[in-house]
Structure 1
Amino acid sequence: MDVILAAVIFAVSYLFIMTEKINRAVVALAGGTLLLLTGIYRVNDVFLHYVDWNTIALLFSMMVLISITEKTGLFSFIAIRFAQQVRGAPIPLMAGLCVLTAIGSALLDNVTTVLILVPIVLKITRQLQLPVFPYLLAVIFSSNLGGTATLIGDPPNIMIGQAVDHLTFLSFINHLAPIAGIMFITMLAILLPLFRKTLKSSASNKQKLMEMDASTYLVRSPMLYQSITVLIMTLTGFIFQTFLHIDLTVIALSGAVLLLLLSEGELSTEQVFSQVEWVTLFFFIGLFALVGGLEEVGIIDELARAIVLWTDGDYAATAILILWISGLFSGIVDNIPFVAAMIPVIEEFESYGMVYLDPIWWSLALGACMGGNATLIGASANVVVAGLAEGDGQKIPFLRFMLYGVPFVLLSLAIATIYLYIRYLIPYMG
């Protein structure tokens, strides 16, 4: 009975999130509350086991950093200068944003990258009077593809890297960066021609842009230099996190608290907190609670274990099935809990005679990271982008995003299947 109840509550909640008739944070929290009222799990289970507070704290910390830095005009300055470099041309602008997003997501992490870049995208598109949806779509795709390439780029990769000792930072680059690069080029080849006709900016808007003095937007006060210094320190900490042995969340939280202390004289904490995207944070909490209900009744775990039965232990079939199951499932729920459920299952594959598990780990990483592009709640970065856009009055329609996201994910998984076969499965089976 609990299984049916949890599945129904999740399905109904997901339907309301898709239709966008009610605020998505309210829907997710309502679904989690129903799971509590029906006794699927207890309050302690939700707050101690299912809500990923590391993710919540990381998001909150970066929102604080970005909120304070935003007040200095730094992002406006960067936005105008960047747009002027491409002379306001919409297509080069999109290509440039995609490259910046992908590189940032690989070297930092995709959530941090979109928190920095999305406010810039919103400012540029408003200045040039361009439709913002194509740019936000491109940023989301680029963030997830860039995050696929490295150990620290996307939460699923971090989790896999922590679970498998011999998969190092360089291992992820060696094995996942090539396919991430192939998919990034494929994405540009699809999106740039697709939106070429709809992305038009008038000559007058471009002229106004070129005549703007970006430096006038900078508020040259101590807070500007404090913000830049702390932001650089935080991002440097992310890059060298594996050497520092300090958790990403701790680095972000330290940066946020330090900047709050330094800027208190110019900007009150109340003002900073009022700019935090609380709707996005509470949506995450509700989403974790919803998926936690599926975990509590064993739905996710049973799905994972069924893979072994479906493939009858066949090595190649198992690797490909994990790729597609994780890819498709990550589009429906956030990829973090699915990967958490899959890790112990893959570890058990050794008892079925599978000694060399690396290709299966890469299958899980590729499926989870690339599958996140399917829907607005498929990956953490997607939710953050949607929250920032909504806060700026530029809501991303859930179903419209799916019209682009689902076909792109299916194409990504098809190309990843070919990559896995050529690089791992054919040599192994040969």
Structure 2
Amino acid sequence: MDVILATVIFVISYIFIMTEKINRAVIALSGGVLLLLTGIYSANDMFFQYIDWNTIALLFSMMLLISITEKTGLFTFIAIRFAQKVRGSPIPLFIGISILTAIGSALLDNVTTVLIFVPIILKITSQLNLPSFPYLLTIIFSSNIGGTATLIGDPPNIMIGQAVDHLNFLSFLVHLAPLALLLFVIMLFVLVFLFRNTLTASQGNVEELLATDASAFLVKTPMLYQSIAVLSLTLTGFLLHSFLHIELTVIALSGAILLLLLTEKELETEQVFAKVEWVTLFFFIGLFTLVGGLDAVGIIDELARAIVLSTEGDFSKTALLILWISGLFSGIVDNIPFVAAMIPVIQEFKSYGMIYLDPIWWSLALGACLGGNATLVGASANVVVAGLAEGAKQKLSFIRFMLYGIPFVLFSLVVSTIYIYVRYLIPYMSQGL
């Protein structure tokens, strides 16, 4: 009975989220409360087992940092200068923001990257009177593809890297970056082709942009230099966190609190907190509780076991099935809980005689990271972009995004299948490992 209840609550909540008739955070939280009322899990389990407070704290900290920095006019300055560098041309702007997002997501993490770039691109598109959807779409796709390339780029990769000692930063770069680069180039060409007719700006808007003095938007007070220093320090901490052995959340929280302390006299804390995307944070909390319901009744665990049983222990079939299952499943729910459930299952494969598990780990990473492009709830970065866009009155349609996301994920999984098969499975079978 619990399985049916949890499934029904999840499906109904998901349908309401898709239709966007009611605020998505309210729906997600309502689903979580229903799971509590029906006894699927206890309040203690919900708060201490299923809600990923590390993710919530990381997002909250970065929102504080971005909120304070935005008050200095720095992002407006960067947006105008960037747009001026490409002379207001929409397609070079489109390509440039895609490349910057992909690189940022690989070197930092995709959530931090979109928190930085989305406010910038929204300001540029508003000034040039361009549609924001193509730019937000490419930011999401680029962030998830870029995050696939490195250990620190996407939460699933971080989790896999922590679970498997010999898979380090260089391992992810060598094994996943080539495919990520290929998919990024293809994605860029396809999106430019699809949106080529809508990516046009009027000459008047361009001339107005080129005549704008970007430096006039900078508020040149101590807060500007404090914001730049702390934000740079925080981003450096993200780059070095694996060497410093300090968690990303701790680095982000430290940076946010430090900047709050430094700017307290110039900017009231209440104003900073008012700019936090609370709807996005509470949607995350609700989403974690909904997926927690599936986990509590054993649906996620049973799905993981079914993968093993359906392949009868065949190594190649297992690797490819994990790729597709993780890719498709991560498009429906956030990829973090699925990866958390799959890690111990893959570790158990050794008891079935599978000694060489690296291709299976790469399949899980590729499926979870790339599958997040399917819907607006498929990855943390997607939810953040949707929240920022909604806050700027540029709401992203769930259905419209899905019409682009699902085909691209299916294509990505086909290319990933070929990559996994050619690079790992053929050599494995030829050597008889």
For 2:234 and 2:92, the matched residues in 1 are separated by 30
The code of the aligned residue for 2:280 comes to T
Partner of 2:361 in structure 1? 361
Q: TM-score, normalised by structure 1?
A: 1.00
For 2:354 and 2:231, the matched residues in 1 are separated by 45
How is 1:282-361 mapped onto 2 (pairs within 5 angstroms)?
A: 282-361=282-361
The code of the aligned residue for 1:293 comes to G
The code of the aligned residue for 1:421 comes to Y
For 1:325 and 1:264, the matched residues in 2 are separated by 48
For 1:198 and 1:310, the matched residues in 2 are separated by 46
Segments of structure 2 that go 5 or more residues without pairing to the other structure are: none
Alpha-carbon displacement from aligned partner over 1:58-86 (angstroms, at most 9, x marks no partner):
00000000000000000000000000000
Partner of 2:275 in structure 1? 275
Q: CA deviation at 1:212?
A: 0.3
Alpha-carbon displacement from aligned partner over 1:13-37 (angstroms, at most 9, x marks no partner):
0000000000000000000000000
For 1:364 and 1:422, the matched residues in 2 are separated by 17
For 1:186 and 1:367, the matched residues in 2 are separated by 18
More moved, 184-193 vs 64-73: 184-193
For 1:285 and 1:153, the matched residues in 2 are separated by 22
For 1:199 and 1:366, the matched residues in 2 are separated by 31
Partner of 1:83 in structure 2? 83
How is 1:243-254 mapped onto 2 (pairs within 5 angstroms)?
A: 243-254=243-254
Q: TM-score, normalised by structure 2?
A: 0.99
Partner of 1:224 in structure 2? 224
For 1:421 and 1:101, the matched residues in 2 are separated by 29
Give the 4+ runs in structure 1 shifted more than 4 A: none
For 2:425 and 2:208, the matched residues in 1 are separated by 56
How is 1:69-108 mapped onto 2 (pairs within 5 angstroms)?
A: 69-108=69-108
Q: Say yes or no: does 1:375 pair with 2:375.
A: yes
How is 1:102-141 mapped onto 2 (pairs within 5 angstroms)?
A: 102-141=102-141
The code of the aligned residue for 2:428 comes to Y
Partner of 1:237 in structure 2? 237
For 2:299 and 2:411, the matched residues in 1 are separated by 27
Partner of 2:33 in structure 1? 33
For 2:341 and 2:315, the matched residues in 1 are separated by 20
Partner of 1:176 in structure 2? 176
Alpha-carbon displacement from aligned partner over 1:221-241 (angstroms, at most 9, x marks no partner):
000000000000000000000
For 1:186 and 1:50, the matched residues in 2 are separated by 37
For 1:411 and 1:151, the matched residues in 2 are separated by 23
The code of the aligned residue for 1:335 comes to N
Q: CA deviation at 1:165?
A: 0.4
Alpha-carbon displacement from aligned partner over 1:364-419 (angstroms, at most 9, x marks no partner):
00000000000000000000000000000000000000000000000000000000
For 1:152 and 1:265, the matched residues in 2 are separated by 35
The code of the aligned residue for 2:185 comes to I
For 2:155 and 2:191, the matched residues in 1 are separated by 26
The code of the aligned residue for 2:413 comes to L
For 1:384 and 1:313, the matched residues in 2 are separated by 39
Partner of 2:413 in structure 1? 413
Question: Secondary structure of the equivalent of 1:240?
Answer: helix
For 1:308 and 1:223, the matched residues in 2 are separated by 55
Alpha-carbon displacement from aligned partner over 1:184-240 (angstroms, at most 9, x marks no partner):
001011001110101110000000000000000000000000000000000000000
- Alignment: residue pair count: 430
Partner of 1:153 in structure 2? 153
The code of the aligned residue for 1:291 comes to V
Q: CA deviation at 1:340?
A: 0.2
Partner of 1:185 in structure 2? 185
For 1:174 and 1:198, the matched residues in 2 are separated by 37
Partner of 1:57 in structure 2? 57
Q: CA deviation at 1:359?
A: 0.3
For 1:124 and 1:26, the matched residues in 2 are separated by 31
The code of the aligned residue for 2:381 comes to A
Partner of 1:15 in structure 2? 15
Alpha-carbon displacement from aligned partner over 1:227-278 (angstroms, at most 9, x marks no partner):
0000000000000000000000000000000000000011011000000000
Report % sequence identity.
Answer: 77
For 1:17 and 1:339, the matched residues in 2 are separated by 23
Alpha-carbon displacement from aligned partner over 1:286-306 (angstroms, at most 9, x marks no partner):
000000000000000000110
Question: Secondary structure of the equivalent of 1:22?
Answer: coil
